[in-house]
Structures are given as C-alpha cells and as structure tokens.
Amino acid sequence: MLVRNANNPILTRSDIPDILPHLHDVTSVFNPGAIKYKDKYMLMLRVQNRARETYFVMAESDDGVKFEVRNEIVRFEGLKTKNPIVYHCYDPRITKVEDVYYIMFAMDFEQGCKLGVAQTTDFREFHFIGVAPRIDTRNGVLFPEKFNGKFLRLERPNTLVKPGEPATGARIWVSESPQLTNWKMLGPILMGNSHYWDELIGSGTPPVKTREGWLHIYHGVATHFGSTNIYQAGVVLLDLKQPQKVLARGKYNILEPRELYELTGQVPNVVFPSGIIVEDYDAEGFSLPDSEVKVYYGAADTCVCLAETTIQDLLNDCKA
C-alpha cells in the first residue's frame, strides 16, 4: 500500500502565485505530471481558475516534497486552441524517451476528448507535436523506451457514454506509433471489474521498468454506491517484452480516499495518481527493488499530494 507523506497536501491553491491575466486567486491545483530533471523533481501542475479554465504551471523541488511554483504559464509552441476550440488541456503525464521529455495530456474538444502530445528538453520551452486524432480517448501514458523503433502507450478509450455525463471507459489499451500522432491500437490489456473497486479504469502513471516486468499504477472507479464515484489507485505488472501481457494485477487498491483532503473538495472521494519518480536504477535501466518511489496524485480535484513506497512493495502489491 502507498504511504502518505506527512506534509500532505504538498501543494494547495494558496501555493499558486497570481499569473495575470490568467491566474488570480486560483480555485484548485491537482493531477500533476512528474519527472526528475537534472536532479530536480519537476511537476507539471494542472491549475484551474474561477472561470474553470485550465492552465499548466511548472513547479520544482530539491527533495520532492517542498516545491517552488514558477511564475509563468506553460505555453506549448504550435498549439492552436481556437479552431477547432480546445476547451481544456489537462492531466499531463511526463515520460523521458531517448533524452526528450514527452508530455501527453487530455484535450477537450466539442466532439469529445483526444490526447495531445508535446515535448521539451529543458522544461522552459515546450513544443506541441500534435493530437492523436482517431478516437475519443483519455489517460494516455508513454512507455520510457521504444519497442521495435516505435513509441508505445497505454490509453483508455472513452467508450461508455451515459446521457449528460462525460464519456468514460473500463478498458486500458496498448497502442504504438512511429511518430506520436498516428496510433495503431494493438489491443485491450486490462478490463474493469464490475461490482468492485475498479469498475471503470484508466492509466495513471507512466510504466516503470523492473527486472520482473513493467509496473503500472492506474486508477479505478467504484460507481456502484449510487451517490458518488470513488477514485482509487491500483497496480499491475506487464510483461517486459510483450507489455500487452498482464503478469500480475493486485486485487486490492493501494490508495483510496481516507484523509479529509481526499474525501472533500471540488470532486469528493478522489485520489488520482498521475506522476511517479523512482530514485534508483541500475546501469541497464532497471529500477532497483529497494528504490524509493514517489507517487504524485491529485486529491479531490483540489490539491496535490505525495505517497511513497518502494519497487519491491509495488511488486508485492501486484501479487496480493
């Protein structure tokens, strides 16, 4: 199970500076992308203002707990939001592949949600690469290495549509692409479990390479309580060479809303893991079993929190 950091929530609305004319007395900060860059812990924060507009803002830290929030909005050079209208870009996930940092995020259009992708090499300038246009989909996360020369990602197509509600889904798919905009769906790998904690599911944090397989933290939503949806985190182990193959999937969630900052807020009962930082890797790029792992998550769509574990504990959680 993940262990909450004693300083939670590590970022709240009061940590976000006014960045006029976009941000003033903001409403919320949540669901951050996370990565280590030159020994700094970097978060790409999702910030909402009182118009419920969404902006990304970078924050950085020496210890992964105390963050300094930058005084500027992230701008994706080349991203046009007017025609067609992009209502929101949100829930960024960051993955380093061959010395480039890629950011994959949800984009809300009139027709639904698509995945956008951008890149940076310095976390100062960000370049928009494009929208992966084919289907309504969300929760895209890139693997940190290519497979047969192609990028690989996990995503959650939004195939479940209830009138008056945002489209959602209960299957995580693997897809591949030579250049990040044209994606070929290879097949569903993980299904929701109706009646249990993970009825609906979606990818959470980018996969982490271990000697035993790829560790992937995802979110599960219990919908059967009627009054509310409960967002929790779970973990799964995918085959190293054929990530479409699930080797082990934890039966129990590894984090669920329990603290007040998770139980109440803009959207109550939500823990939403979106960033992961693993401290120690061996020379061949495999994470070490006793390495510390930091998982960054949005709580109640209102603030940013940190929970910690180790690679070995996550592997054990997969088999529990």
Q: Residue 292: left if φ>0, alpha if ψ -120 to 50, beta else—which one? A: beta
The correct pick among 67, 90, 123, 173 for binding ligand BMA (CB under 6 A) is 90
Q: Report in angstroms how near the CB of residue 163 gets to ligand BMA at its nearest.
A: 17
Please report, as residue ranges, which positions from 100 to 119 form the binding site for ligand BMA (by CB under 6 A). Answer: none
Q: Is 141 in the site for ligand BMA (CB under 6 A)?
A: no
Token pair, residue 56, equals 């990304």
Tokens (6 digits) for 150: 């192609």
Kind of pairing between the strands at 126-132 and 76-77: parallel
> What are the phi and psi torsion angles at 314 (to 5°)?
-65, -40
Closest distance of CB 48 from ligand BMA, Å: 10
126 scored as a contact of ligand BMA (CB under 6 A): no
| C-beta separation of 217 from 313 below 8 A | no
Regarding 218 and contact with ligand BMA (CB under 6 A), the answer is: no
Q: Does 263 bind ligand BMA (CB under 6 A)?
A: no
The interface with ligand BMA within residues 268-287 (CB under 6 A) comprises 270, 272
State which residue, 189 or 270, has the beta carbon closest to ligand BMA: 270
31 part of the interface to ligand BMA, by CB under 6 A: yes
137 lines the binding site for ligand BMA (CB under 6 A)? no
Answer for which of 298, 307, 311, 314 binds ligand BMA (CB under 6 A) is 298
The phi-psi region of residue 25 (left if phi > 0; otherwise alpha if psi is between -120 and 50; otherwise beta) is left
The contact pattern for ligand BMA, residues 169-208, with x = CB under 6 A and - = no contact, is ----------------------------------------
With CB under 6 A as the contact rule, which of the stretches 95-103, 208-216, 244-252, 267-275 interacts with ligand BMA? 267-275
Cβ neighbours of residue 227 under 8 Å, at least 6 residues apart?
none
Number of residues that bind ligand BMA (CB under 6 A): 9
Taking the complex as a whole, the smallest distance from the CB of residue 90 to ligand BMA amounts, in Å, to 6
Does the footprint of ligand BMA cover residue 231 (CB under 6 A)? yes
Phi and psi of 241, rounded to 5°?
A: -90, -35
| Own/partner pairs, 256-263, CB within 8 angstroms, 24+ separation | 256/197, 256/230, 256/232, 257/230, 257/231, 257/232, 257/299, 257/300, 259/4, 259/8, 259/299, 261/8, 261/9, 261/299, 261/300, 261/302, 261/303, 261/305, 262/299, 262/300, 262/305, 263/300
Nearer CB in complex with ligand BMA: 64/204 = 204
First to last CA, the chain: 10
| Region binding ligand BMA by CB under 6 A among candidate stretches 64-72, 249-257, 266-274, 288-296 | 266-274
Shortest distance in whole angstroms from residue 159 CB to ligand BMA: 14
Residue-wise burial string across 199-236, b where 16 or more C-beta atoms lie within 10 A, e elsewhere:
bbbbbbbbbbbbebbbbbbbbbbbeeeeeebbbbbbbb
> Of 189, 192, 273, 260, nearest to 231 (Cα)?
273
76 binds ligand BMA (CB under 6 A): no
Taking CB atoms, the residue at the shortest distance from ligand BMA is 267
- From the CB of 274, what's the least distance to ligand BMA, in Å? 8
Half-sphere exposure of 183 (CA within 13 A, CB side): 30
Of the two residues 56 and 90, which places its CB atom closer to ligand BMA in the complex? 90
Shortest spacing between CB 177 and ligand BMA, in angstroms: 23
Residues that bind ligand BMA in the complex, under the rule CB under 6 A? 31, 90-91, 231, 267, 270, 272, 298, 301
